[in-house]
């Protein structure tokens, strides 16, 4: 399943940090265009330390990765904060047919190639998520959820590539059954409904893409469209909808999701014209009803449109760059790329193109400030050396425990060994959010070593756990306290704060 709930949680934590040490306040209110004519971006006087980066890219999807490669090529060592889904939403696409030079490639393979290319160019990757920004001073400050205590870094230039989060229907039962049949990602969860009946709600291109994927697995696929026509433009739509196991129900709204403790059983549907209601038996409901930009952190700093997309400023910035207009936001040196700034096209290749343009702009911006990669690194080193390194504590640290469990029997044996909090992670290799959560789990196992152990179970290599644990979505995360009692059982990835908050309830902080 996509990390949508987590995304929302992350976005909900919008701290506007006070401007204090480590950055120079801008002379005027940062969210107004006036700032551009009153730049106080003086690189010589700027406070630079070991956590200052020339360019920080927020988001590791195709747009962010392409920007990183371009900046890496000019020796900028950009930092990519990958967020909860490394590779972005494209990793959840099983078939990408509109990427230049590729006839048909799955999203994960495509983004893996781009990741390798960016890394090869010198990009630094962080698996953290952004929890706050402070763009009221420069270098811009960014707070990351990167361990037990949040970490604040700073950047001379920021490229925002944080994408969008799927919409929800907000009908009864949707939240209750989220992860137990309700999903926003067919590629993530579709395999759990092999030979079963599924429904997709939505009439756009995403609904057609989901239908194309699910039609290969499911016995029956219903596409529920609230209007009497589709919005989708995808050329495959006639071919997909003509499949024997696909049926479109037009003028149909989902009013409620029903089920048992563990799974979805049926939906209440309403004819939007006659208001007549009916029941549709289904094992899953996939939401494909559009998305919202993940821009809440930037409100007050950058101009957003009425729907929350970051506005791209088309006014040429001749004093800074000769490129125009290209991904500039209302703040100098801050660029927005991909879906977060694109209410219309939302195409992977367009997003990658945005990344290229933003990288060239950021390069121009930094050159305008007199930035030089070598002298910047020297300055960082000097600052670094002037602060004495903390001596490592001599005490022996307990070892992190992460066990890959090979059978259900082994899992049961391990669960009987109590005395420590246990986190069981039911995952699969094809699940992007599961992969994205792995660095966080490693960090949790390390930071809570001696108190918490992690047992990982691949639901494909240990398929019996799907039945035993009634798995209807992954990652499924189950917490057991030190006595072996199950205390939390949830579906959907968690970030570091999410794990810490559950653990502090179980073992105290
Ligand atoms: P869209 O906004 O294009 O479509 C959303 C669909 O969901 C519409 O049919 C809309 O209905 C319906 N909808 C919205 N809210 C509700 C609701 N509450 N109840 C029922 N139905 C609802 O979103 P997509 O995610 O499909 O696509 C977004 C963009 O990404 C588009 O530009 C698309 O072209 C692109 N895209 C391209 C793909 C490709 O090239 N293969 C794949 C996926 C996306 P209504 O029409 O009545 O408003």
How far apart CA 107 and CA 130 sit, in angstroms, is 24
Strand order in the sheet with 246-249: 182-183, 284-287, 197-201, 220-224, 246-249
How far apart CA 76 and CA 376 sit, in angstroms, is 10
DSSP β-ladder status, 264-271 and 277-281: antiparallel
User: SS3 of 281, please?
Assistant: strand
Q: How far from 241 is each of 223, 238, 319, 360, CA to CA, in Å?
A: 9, 5, 53, 42
Distance of CA 206 from the midpoint of ligand 1 (Å): 6
Residue nearest ligand 1's atom 30 by CA: 346
- Report DSSP state, residue 328: B
For the record, the structure tokens of 389 come out as: 């390194």
How far apart CA 105 and CA 90 sit, in angstroms, is 11
User: SS3 of 255, please?
Assistant: strand
Catalytic hit among 23, 137, 188, 434: 188
Catalytic hit among 23, 51, 134, 185: 185
DSSP β-ladder status, 246-249 and 264-271: unpaired
456 with 462: CB under 8 angstroms?
A: no
Residue nearest ligand 1's atom 7 by CA: 289
Phi, psi of 293 (to 5 degrees): -70, 145
- Provide the residue-wise pLDDT of the chain in tens; the chain has 509 residues: 333 333 333 333 223 333 444 566 664 444 444 444 345 789 998 999 999 999 999 999 999 999 999 999 999 999 999 987 788 888 877 778 889 999 988 888 999 999 999 999 999 999 888 999 999 999 999 999 877 778 999 999 999 999 999 999 999 999 888 888 999 888 778 888 999 999 999 999 999 989 999 999 999 999 999 999 999 987 788 999 999 999 999 999 999 999 998 889 999 999 999 999 999 999 999 999 999 999 999 999 999 999 999 999 877 666 666 656 689 999 999 999 999 999 888 889 999 999 999 999 999 999 999 999 999 998 888 875 554 544 554 566 788 899 999 899 999 989 988 889 999 999 998 887 888 888 889 999 999 988 999 999 999 999 999 889 988 888 999 999 999 999 999 988 888 888 999 999 998 75
Burial track 257-277 (b if 16+ CB lie within 10 A, e otherwise): bbbeeebbebbbbbeeeeeee
Pocket test for ligand 1, best of 102, 169, 204 (most atoms within 8 A of CB): 204
For the record, the structure tokens of 15 come out as: 């701290």
For the record, the structure tokens of 337 come out as: 């790329």
**What is the DSSP annotation of 207-250?**
HHHHHHHHTTT-SEEEEE-SSSS-----TTHHHHHTSTTEEEE-
106 with 95: CB under 8 angstroms?
A: yes
Task: Supply the pTM of this predicted model.
Answer: 0.74
Distance of CA 237 from the midpoint of ligand 1 (Å): 13
Please give the number of the atom of ligand 1 that sits closest to the Cα of 344: 32
How far apart CA 148 and CA 116 sit, in angstroms, is 29
* 188 assigned to active site: yes
CA 5 to chain CA centroid, Å, is: 10
Q: What angle do CA 479, 485, 487 make, to 5 degrees?
A: 45
Q: Quickly count: other Cβ atoms within 10 Å of residue 80's Cβ.
A: 29
For the record, the structure tokens of 469 come out as: 């644990």
Residues in contact with ligand 1 by the CB-under-6-Å rule are 98, 167, 169, 201-207, 209, 226-227, 231, 234, 288-291, 346
Residue 181 — left, alpha, or beta (φ > 0 → left; ψ -120 to 50 → alpha)? left
How far apart CA 355 and CA 350 sit, in angstroms, is 9
Length reported for the chain = 509
Residues sharing a CB contact under 8 Å with residue 201, sequence separation 6 or more, in sequence order: 169, 207, 224, 254, 285, 286, 287, 288, 289
Q: What angle do CA 419, 404, 123 make, to 5 degrees?
A: 115
SS3 sequence, 454-475? Answer: EEEEECCCCCHHHHHCCCCCCC
* 137 assigned to active site: no
* 434 assigned to active site: no
DSSP β-ladder status, 252-259 and 264-271: antiparallel
């Amino acid at each position: 399943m996509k990390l949508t709930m987590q995304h929302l949680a992350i976005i909900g934590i919008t701290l506007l940090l006070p401007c204090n040490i480590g950055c120079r306040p801008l002379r005027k209110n940062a969210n107004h265009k006036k700032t551009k004519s009153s730049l106080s971006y003086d690189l010589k006087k700027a406070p630079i330390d070991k956590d200052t980066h020339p360019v920080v890219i927020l988001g590791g999807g195709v747009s962010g990765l392409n920007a990183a490669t371009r900046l890496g090529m000019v020796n900028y060592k950009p930092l990519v904060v990958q967020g909860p889904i490394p590779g972005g939403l494209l990793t959840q696409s099983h078939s990408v047919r509109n990427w230049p030079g590729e006839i048909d490639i799955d999203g994960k393979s495509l983004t893996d190639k781009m990741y390798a290319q960016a890394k090869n160019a010198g990009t630094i990757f962080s698996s953290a998520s952004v929890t706050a920004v402070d763009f009221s001073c420069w270098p811009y400050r960014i707070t990351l959820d990167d361990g037990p205590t949040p970490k604040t870094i700073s950047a001379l230039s920021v490229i925002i590539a944080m994408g969008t989060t799927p919409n929800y229907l907000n009908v009864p039962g949707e939240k209750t059954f989220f992860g137990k049949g309700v999903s926003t990602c067919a590629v993530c969860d579709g395999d759990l409904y092999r030979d079963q009946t599924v429904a997709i709600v939505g009439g756009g291109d995403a609904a057609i893409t989901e239908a194309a994927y699910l039609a290969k697995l499911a016995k029956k696929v219903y596409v529920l469209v609230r209007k009497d026509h589709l919005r989708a433009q995808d050329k495959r739509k006639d071919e997909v909808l003509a499949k024997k196991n696909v049926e479109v129900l037009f003028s149909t709204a989902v009013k409620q999701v029903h089920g048992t403790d563990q799974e979805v059983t049926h939906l209440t549907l309403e004819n939007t014209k006659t208001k007549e209601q009916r029941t549709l038996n289904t094992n899953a409901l996939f939401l494909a009803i559009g998305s919202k930009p993940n821009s809440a952190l930037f409100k007050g700093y950058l101009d957003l449109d009425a729907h929350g997309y970051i506005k791209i400023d088309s006014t040429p910035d001749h004093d800074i760059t000769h490129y125009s207009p290209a991904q500039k936001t209302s703040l100098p040196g801050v660029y927005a790329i991909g879906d977060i700034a694109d209410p219309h096209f939302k195409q992977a290749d367009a997003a990658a193109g945005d990344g290229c343009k933003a990288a060239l702009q950021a390069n121009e911006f930094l050159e305008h400030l007199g930035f030089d990669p070598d002298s910047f690194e020297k300055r960082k080193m000097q600052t670094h050396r002037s602060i004495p390194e903390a001596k490592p504590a001599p005490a022996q640290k307990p070892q992190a425990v992460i066990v890959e469990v090979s059978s259900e029997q082994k899992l049961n044996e391990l669960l009987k060994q109590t005395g420590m909090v246990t986190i069981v992670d039911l995952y699969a290799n094809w699940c992007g959010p599961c992969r994205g959560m792995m660095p966080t789990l490693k960090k949790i196992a390390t930071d809570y070593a001696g108190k918490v152990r992690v047992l990982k179970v691949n639901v494909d290599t240990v398929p019996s756990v799907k039945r035993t644990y009634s798995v209807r979505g992954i990652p499924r995360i189950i917490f057991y306290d030190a006595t072996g009692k199950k205390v939390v059982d949830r579906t959907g990835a968690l970030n570091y704060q999410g794990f810490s908050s559950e653990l502090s309830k179980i073992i105290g902080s």
